[in-house]
Structure 1
Amino acid sequence: MIDPQRVDDAKRVLGARLAGWRNARGLTQLALARRVPVSRTTIAGVERGQQCPDRIFWQRCEAALAAGGELLAGYDDYRCLKQQLDQEKVEAAQRVRWGEVEDRSLPTGTHGVPAAVPARESLRDLAAADLTSGGPSGLTAPLARVAGVAVAGETDFHDGDAVTLAVMSDGQAMSLRVSRRALLELAAGLTAVPVVTTTGVSHPRAVDPAVVDHFAELRALLVQADDRLGGLTILSTVEQQIALIAALRRQARGQLRNRLLSTEARWSEFAGWLSDDLGDRATGDRWLDRAGSMAQEADDQEFWAYVLARKAQRMVGTGDEDCVVGLARAASRLPDTPPLVHAFAAIQQAHGSAIEQDASAFQAAVERAHTLVATAKPTGESSTLGSFCTRPYLAAQEGEGWLRLNQPRRAIDSFTNAVNTWPDRYRRERGVYLSRTAHAYLAASEPGQAATVAAEALTTATTTGSVRVRRNVNALARRLEPFSGRPEVRQLLDQLATSG
């Protein structure tokens, strides 16, 4: 087993090497940061062993310091060690992460939801079996082709890192107990089939109120799956769950109906986000309008404020920019708007000001957003509305504003700060801002650097299937064609041609 301390020590040694080479060349941290380019705090963090950026960072440090390959070799050694440790963690977790699946049709529980039964088999074995040919339990469909997943049960949803699911497959119920990691893998399999409806699936007449929390948990897991697997992979699953929530909502009454309506609104907004990322703006419009209508019907003022801010966000760059500030202000005026949603709305006001070339109003709105984020009470929940409004996110939005205000150098600094501090688990969004960084470099008359950064963004687009990232890179590539004689630009254009 790799000792985690050994990995931390390797990172610190690598940082010390960077500091040594920088001092040997007579450069300050700020001077090196400008050559890489990153923020000075990034250089300081690396030298202290607190962070370790990707290989491109070390390639640029090599070039800036003429380190004879020592820094790049040190980084490769560190990455090899880190990957070994990560693999060992995965293998260790794999031995305990798979739950058990109950293998028979379930009797009805006290609230009309499937109750647990004792017969069990391995979830991994069930997933691998060809159940269409009379596999385990005589079920009529393989787990990877389950029609719809609905979380059910009483109060046993949490069990360490386990989740209890009730799965309907061709009208037959199964109860699954599975880890969150396994559920992400399950989601990938679920979405390989066409969208189905709940027609013909029997639902309980009494709706268990606990399903509201369960659907919130499932949505949070699918948000994670979206970033790992791409929107195209999970959109059909999201649509299936919306159909199932709608069926439950139609049976519910009173406050429970409103809670399910709010739940359906949140899932609809998520479907709109996925559609937008896949380049289907018309479908994104429909889902977001549906989400807004449901939020208003349920008197969910908090989520209605968020939808208004999302609508403002989507108006940027459409030719109807006069609506951006108005929608953002409307979101901020609602009485129950949470601080992070206020911050999200403030950023949209900042974009509106940048479009109008009002730099002072832009900066004031950005500062207001920073203050709101800094004073917001931390929840630790990724499902909290506006939880994406972090310092890296604000830095990225600030970069967009500076780019609109024709100040590309300031845009580069903001984008670079965002990209270098972006959480690893959000690869696609990092790719979006890498592509925007590339545009800023071209605006600063650095086509070679623009192509280098765009190539990294394109790799992310290919991995995640993000149409947004690819469109940004394609737009940049068209503007780079006059510089096709440069090797970096030629490499990007060839990469685009071969990646389809």
Structure 2
Amino acid sequence: MADDEIRTARRNLGRRLAQLRKAAGHTQHSFARLVQYGRSSVASTETGHQHPDRAFWTRCDTVLQTGGVLTVEYDRINDRHRRQRRLSALQAIEGNESKAGNSADGSILWEDKDSIDARRLALKTSNDDDARLAYLENEVRQAIADNERLTPAMLMARMRPLRGYVDQLMSGRQHPPLRARLYVAAAQLSGLLGALALDLGAFGLAHAYAAEAFDLAEAAQQPDAQGWARATQSLIAFYSGDYYDALAYAQDGLRLAGPSPHRVRLSVNGEARAYARLGDRYGVDKAVDRALTILSDYPSSSQVTASLTLGPYCHARAAANTATAYLALGNGVDVTGHLNTAINAFDAAGLPGPQALSRLDLATAHLHRDNPEPEQACSLVLEALDLTADQRYESVHQRARQFLAMARPFAQQPQLRHVAELLSARTQTRAPTPPGLPSPL
């Protein structure tokens, strides 16, 4: 294929996309949201003015249920384009050889200097350097640290311009080590956005971001990043009620992560809580024991790690997740110590979400006692709802609803009715679903 033929083939592929999109009843705007790209990107692709990568065409095939025809055609065009470029490069080398030094028998002794200079220039051609990547990495790490300290909507808004910056870098050229770093930073950004979307109750968007995070980590071929992304997918699946998926993601993360510190989070936040919801006490015991054993290899610290930490979970978060798992099995007797450890740490750190969740678990533990204490339990729930009054946390609302289900035998308690009314009012005023953000792929 000559250059003109490649351009024609790409325009034809764009027109084919437009035909399939229209036949499926999608506007460019609605279709763009489904494939997580901007409407202008879809429009430019359909006219042949933009040439997105393979991931875009794969998503189009999935949304339009084409059986992969668009991706197959993209691969065909891309393969021919690569072969043409290699042929052009060989022809250029052959042309330069005619100017190179020849021996008496006509064999080539050295290359032309211009050929060497051209290769050096190509090697140095990149639109990124260490400073730009370091900026991106620092911004993402800071945002992960700020998660639970800022409201989900506020942090989501702050990350939107950074997503655009990632798009710019991803469309450029980088050498392999820089490219891998860029993919990891992009994976962490998508994982964070997935967790924020979950907090805001946008489950579909949360799943899409988390899947994107894993795809990017996989493309970077970084096991540590893959384990982190799987832990985030497990978290989102858990709060979506997909407990088998939550377990599968956690177990795959443990397989991929190897000796990574993410094993603590994958075990206690992923495996243990999913096993508990599936009623598997043996699985919970095994996962908790593994998490606490791994955690014992790390220095003990009073500092609370981020919920999406890029390192090992802290003792407070491990304790809180252990309590959540055993409470789901109906065991509220042995969790008080874990919860007191967690509450003290979260209170000292001033993290409203974890403070509320641990109080909700402690409230549930009060109902599990031989002599239940519904009044004290309700007081803890009201504290939890007050702590998160100015923020939306889907996890807090779910945990509060689970408490109310557990407290049905005490339905006549005035405080319990107050909790139910407050939660109902809180969840009816739902935060608006955030608009789809452009994809870094």
Cα deviations across residues 431-485 of structure 1 (Å, max 9, x unaligned)? 1222232233334433212211100110122133323213432453466576465
Matched, 1:244 2:165: yes
One-letter amino acid of the counterpart of residue 329, structure 2: L
Correspondence list, 1:82-161, <5 A = none
Correspondence for 2:237 among 297, 315, 335: 315
Deviations 1:93-123 (CA, angstroms, capped at 9, x unpaired): xxxxxxxxxxxxxxxxxxxxxxxxxxxxxxx
**Equivalent position SS for 1:363:** helix
CA contact (8 A) 2:198 2:206 kept: yes
For 2:377, the aligned partner's letter is A
User: How has the CA–CA distance of structure 1 residues 258 and 400 changed in structure 2, closer, same or farther, with 3 Å as cutoff?
Assistant: same
What secondary structure does 1:229 align onto? coil
C-alpha distance in 1 between matches for 2:333 and 2:304: 35
Gaps of at least 5 residues in structure 2 are: 1-124, 430-441
Q: CA deviation at 1:370?
A: 1.0
Deviation at 1:260, TM superposition (A): 1.2
Q: Which residue of 365, 374, 399 maps to 1:440?
A: 365
Q: Which amino acid aligns with 2:319?
A: A
1:381 & 1:411 partners in 2: Cα distance? 19
2:329 to 389, 393, 405: 405
Q: Which amino acid aligns with 1:397?
A: N
Summarize the Cα distance change of 1:326–1:480 in structure 2 as closer, same or farther, 3 Å threshold: closer
**Which residue in the other structure is 2:153 paired with?**
232
Deviation at 1:257, TM superposition (A): 2.2
Structure 2 matches for 1:363-378, cutoff 5 A?
363-376=285-298
Question: 1:381 offset after TM fit, Å?
Answer: 11
Shift of 1:316: 3.1
Look up the match of 1:417. Answer: 341
State the Cα distance separating 1:245 from its structure 2 match. 1.3
- Matched with 1:32 is none
- 1:219 to partner: Cα distance: 2.3
Q: Which structure would you say has the larger Rg? A: 2
Alpha-carbon distance in 2 for matches of 1:270, 1:242: 11
Task: Write out aligned runs for 1:84-483 (5 A).
Answer: 206-255=127-176, 256-316=178-238, 320-334=242-256, 336-338=258-260, 340-347=261-268, 348-376=270-298, 385-387=309-311, 389-422=313-346, 423-444=348-369, 445-477=372-404, 480=407, 483=410
Task: Assess, with a 3 A threshold, how the Cα gap between structure 1 residues 489 and 325 changes in structure 2: closer, same or farther.
Answer: closer
- For normalisation by structure 1, the TM-score amounts to 0.53
Q: Could you tell me whether the CA contact under 8 Å between 2:359 and 2:381 is conserved in 1?
A: yes
**2:349 match: secondary structure:** coil
- The code of the aligned residue for 1:276 comes to L
Moved more, 418-427 or 318-327: 318-327
Aligned AA (1:408): G
1:297-352 C-alpha deviation (Å, 9 max, x unpaired)? 111221111212332333336564334443323222226541x2111222223234
SS at match of 1:330: helix
Separation in 2, partners of 1:300, 1:243: 23
Q: What amino acid is the match of 1:421?
A: A
For 1:222 and 1:326, locate their aligned partners in 2 and report how far apart those are by CA, in whole Å: 27
- Helix, strand or coil for the counterpart of 2:171? helix
What SS is found at the alignment partner of 1:303?
helix
Count of matched residue positions in the alignment of Structure 1 and Structure 2: 296
TM-score under structure 2 normalisation?
0.59
Identify which of structures 1 and 2 has the higher relative contact order when contacts are C-alpha pairs closer than 8 Å and 6+ apart: 2
Counterpart Cα distance in 1 of 2:242 and 2:405: 25
The 3 A distance-change label for structure 1 pair 472 and 420 is same
Per-residue deviation at 1:286? 0.6
Q: 1:336 to 1:461 in 2, by over 3 A?
A: same
Moved more, 210-219 or 311-320: 311-320
Quick check: which one's strand share is greater?
1
Seen in structure 2, the aligned counterparts of structure 1 residues 377 and 303 have a Cα distance that, compared at 3 Å, is farther
> Secondary structure of the residue that 2:390 maps to in structure 1?
helix
**Is the Cα contact below 8 Å between 2:404 and 2:420 reproduced in 1?**
yes
Q: Give the alignment of 1:48-59 within 5 angstroms.
A: none
Contact 1:350 1:401 in 2 (8 A): yes
Output the CA distance in 1 between the equivalents of 2:223 and 2:170: 19
What amino acid is aligned across from residue 321 of structure 2 in structure 1?
Q
Which one-letter code corresponds to 1:245 in the other structure? Answer: V
The one-letter code matched in structure 1 to 2:227 is A
| Percent identity over paired residues | 19
Going from structure 1 to structure 2, the CA distance change for 1:313 and 1:414 (only over 3 Å counts) comes to same
Indicate if the aligned counterparts of 1:321 and 1:355 stay in contact, CA closer than 8 A: yes
Aligned alpha-carbon RMSD (Å): 3.1
Amino acid at match of 1:260: L
Deviates more, 1:417-426 or 1:489-498: 489-498
Instruction: Give the partner amino acid of 1:427.
Output: P
Matched residue type, 1:431: A
The answer to whether the 8 Å contact 1:262/1:294 transfers is yes
Higher helix share: 2
The C-alpha deviation readout for 1:174-225, integer Å capped at 9, x for no partner, is: xxxxxxxxxxxxxxxxxxxxxxxxxxxxxx9732322222222222333344
**Contact 1:227 1:464 (C-alpha < 8 Å) held by counterparts:** no
Question: C-alpha deviations, 1:114-139, integer Å up to 9, x for none?
Answer: xxxxxxxxxxxxxxxxxxxxxxxxxx
Counterpart of 1:392, as a letter, is A
Contact 2:267 2:291 in 1 (8 A): yes
